[in-house]
Amino acid sequence: MVSGPECSKARLTKCDGRFAYSHSKTYNNNQKTKYTNRILDNKSVFNISIWKVGGVAQLVRAHGSYPCCRGFKSPPRYHFSSSKFMTHLSKQEIVKLLTSKDNDTLYKRAYEIKKQNVGTKVYFRGLIEFSNICSKNCFYCGLRRDNKKLNRYEISDEEVLGAAKLAWESKYGSIVLQSGEICRPKFSSRIMELLKKIKSATNNELGITLSCGEQSEETYRQWFAAGAHRYLLRIETSNKELYYKIHPKDKEHSFESRIDALKSLKKLGFQVGSGIMVGLPFQTIENIADDLVFLRDIDCDMVGLGPYVEHSNTPLYKERANLMPKQERFDLALKCIAILRIMMKDINIAAATALQAIDEEGREKALLAGANIIMPNLTPTKYRSDYLLYEDKPCINEGALQCKGCLENRVKKYGETIGYGEWGDSKHFLKRK
């Protein structure tokens, strides 16, 4: 039921067939036309804005409350970047998919959507775990500050540059520089200099993603200016209560600060990646459904999510008897990938390494469930066994070239190709710009 030609032109009906649309306001803004519509069904009231450039719907935003039919009291919940590239799923629908036994149908649907929207090219991001020093104490992670059994390391600039050059020569489009979280000026200026060195040593051709935790907005700004253009910061869980069950409740581990960090990154122009762990102690299916809604609501460009895998030198290890079996955690993580692919058709989704800690073909299976990014490990082999976030981490004894060959074969075996020499940026991000 569409009232007003603008609505049908904007193809909002394809966004969610259950809604009725009532057009309320139209106005022009030079080349852009903004249509504001009220969408009504029996449960909700949304304000929808469709920006059109040259007659084509570019951007759709929905602000409203749910479930509610009396006004706009609660904060905006739904943000659709574009009706064509989003499928609206309610939390209830997500729960249903997460609990359904028919995994294959879900994966097939997600794979079709992946093929149509981002294709079947897999992009490699060479992962350089350049330091395992961390000032945080997350209850689940082997790198936590209080794990004294770990040999702490920091890779020299020369070694990082060597790994970056290897990525460039191997035609990996990008690298990911990952470390524990250190918030010191010396650390942030080191990264800034390193970024510049990598850029110049690789003819400005290598894309650089950072994954160095929560930092000040100023630090993020400097890193962006020095050449990093993507940032990964998992929310881990979007449920505040659960967040404080898996992190100490102190200034260093603030849920609000993590959200603020994600906002800063977005504001500064980074392609922002976030994600969660699936199968955490105390985590419910409803929590996970909320997480997926959260990732949609923050309109992230990239997602990295994987199963929680216990580590014996962490406080959460004592909860291991209460965890769901590893295989279930694995299946649930794949389902999350598939659901996200359905909800956000044009984002980049990583086939997380943790999947391979449970299933030997975990990363390839993720490709068939909708993922399109793989992070081959480029960390010099002698450091790898000290970057144990969780147990059974794969590729601990292999070298960079072994991982490259191994992953190439794995990708090919599953009928996909590798986007060598391409950045493979998030299409979602490029359209949002």
Contacted entry of ligand FES, ligand 5AD, ligand SF4, none for residue 306, CB cut-off 5 to 8 Å set by kind: ligand 5AD
Nearest to 177 by CA among 153, 161, 201: 161
- Regarding 403 and contact with ligand FES (CB under 6 A), the answer is yes
**Residue partners of 212: CB distance under 8 A and separation at least 6:** 177, 178, 179, 181, 182, 191
- Regarding 402 and contact with ligand FES (CB under 6 A), the answer is yes
Task: Choose which of 395, 418, 424, 429 interacts with ligand FES (CB under 6 A).
Answer: 395
Please give the backbone phi and psi of residue 120, each rounded to the nearest 5 degrees, phi first.
-115, 20
Q: Give contact residues for ligand SF4 (rule: CB under 6 A).
A: 134, 136, 138, 141, 143-144, 180-181, 213
Type of residue at 332: L
Contacted entry of ligand FES, ligand 5AD, ligand SF4, none for residue 58, CB cut-off 5 to 8 Å set by kind: none
- Regarding 331 and contact with ligand 5AD (CB under 6 A), the answer is no
DSSP 142-168: TT-TT-TTS---B--HHHHHHHHHHHH
Half-sphere exposure of 118 (CA within 13 A, CB side): 37
Residue owning tokens 């074969």? 409
Strand 32-40 vs strand 45-53: parallel, antiparallel, or unpaired? antiparallel
Closest to ligand 5AD by CB, 6 vs 129, is: 129
Supply the minimum distance, in Å, between the C-beta of residue 252 and ligand SF4.
9
Closest to ligand SF4 by CB, 138 vs 366, is: 138
| DSSP state at residue 101 | S
Contacted entry of ligand SF4, ligand 5AD, ligand FES, none for residue 21, CB cut-off 5 to 8 Å set by kind: none
- Regarding 140 and contact with ligand 5AD (CB under 6 A), the answer is yes
Nearest to 11 by CA among 64, 63, 52: 52
Strand 277-278 vs strand 302-307: parallel, antiparallel, or unpaired? parallel
- Regarding 234 and contact with ligand 5AD (CB under 6 A), the answer is yes
Report yes or no: 224 and 268 within 8 Å, Cβ to Cβ: yes
Q: Binding segment for ligand FES among 39-47, 82-90, 324-332, 403-411 (CB under 6 A)?
A: 403-411
| DSSP state at residue 314 | S
Task: Sketch the per residue contact string, 384 through 403, with ligand 5AD: x for CB under 6 A, - otherwise.
Answer: -----xx-------------
Supply the minimum distance, in Å, between the C-beta of residue 181 and ligand FES.
25
Which residues contribute to the site for ligand FES (CB under 6 A)?
377, 395, 398, 402-403, 406-407
Which residues contribute to the site for ligand 5AD (CB under 6 A)?
140-141, 234, 236, 277, 306, 308-309, 311, 354, 389-390
